[in-house]
Amino acid sequence: MRELCAAVQAARVAARQRDWLFFDSFGTDEPALRAAASALERLDATLVGLCVEHVLRANALPGAKPRMRRG
């Protein structure tokens, strides 16, 4: 749950970054565009990872030992 809350907060920040991408002055700053794109890619990977983890837990065999996440 902690990881999900952190991902939700990151998504809120990303929403602001996404809006900044469409401002004319921001659109000419290539390093800033690259940084924003990297942040959005990391957020995507985090959200996909949380979804996959949820599906794996939901479909685990009864009595299966839970796997520890590497972080």
Distance CA 62, CA 4 (A): 25
Give the mean model confidence (pLDDT) for residues 10-21. 76
For residue 45 the two structure tokens come to: 């990977």
Residue 70 predicted with pLDDT over 70: no
- State the pTM of this model: 0.62
DSSP string, 4-15: HHHHHHHHHHHH
Query: What does the pLDDT look like over 16-60, one tens digit per residue?
Result: 777 766 666 655 778 877 887 888 888 889 889 989 988 888 898
Q: Who has greater pLDDT, 62 or 46?
A: 46
